[in-house]
Amino acid sequence: MSDGVSQSSVDLRRHLLSQNAVTIVSAMQKAGLPDPVGLIVEMIDPFGKQLIYGILEARGLQKSEIAERIASLSRNAIPTFTAVVSFEQAKRTLSLSSDTAEQNLAAARPPGSYWIVVIAGGGNSYSLVPLPSLNSDRN
C-alpha cells in the first residue's frame, strides 16, 4: 500500500467519500448495529477487492455471483462498493490492510459519532460522521 499516501490517492478517497456519503450514512442508520462502521471501497484496490469478496461470501453469495456483481459495478468510472459492518468487524478486518487501522479506529470520538472508512488508492482514510439517532453503548 505504498501509494496510499500520495496526493492523488488521498484525493481519490476524498472524492469517493463525497460521492458516497449520503448512501453510506443512510445504510449506517438502517443497519441496526450499535456501533456501525461504514465502508466505501474502491473495487480495484487490491485489499478492497479481497474485502468485498469476504463481505459478500459472508452474506451467502457464491464466488461466481460475486465476480458477476463486481463486473457489473466495474462499469462505473470508479467502481465502488459500500457496506456497513460492526465496529469489531472493522477492527479485525481493517487491521489486515494497514498497521495503523486499529489505532485509528480506537481514537477518541465525540458521543454519537461513528466511523466511515474509505479504502482506495492503496490506503485507508477515516472520517467521523454524527449519527445522533443511534443510541450506543460503545466503549
Q: What is the pLDDT of residues 6-42, one digit of tens each?
A: 899 999 999 999 999 999 999 999 999 999 999 999 9
* 100/72: higher pLDDT: 100
Give me the pLDDT at residue 139, please.
46
pLDDT tens readout for residues 74-98: 776 788 999 999 999 999 999 988 8
Q: Mean pLDDT for the chain?
A: 89
Give me the pLDDT at residue 73, please.
73
Cα separation, 56 vs 8, in Å, equals 29
Please provide the DSSP assignment of 50-84 as one string: HHHHHHHHHTT--HHHHHHHHHHHTTSSS-EEEEE
What is the reported pTM?
0.84
Give me the pLDDT at residue 135, please.
58
What are the backbone dihedrals phi and psi of residue 75, each rounded to the nearest 5 degrees, phi first? -75, -15
| pLDDT beyond 60 at 113 | yes
Cα separation, 131 vs 111, in Å, equals 9
Q: What residues contact 103, with CB distance under 8 A and at least 6 apart?
A: none
- In which residue are the cell numbers 467519500 written? 17
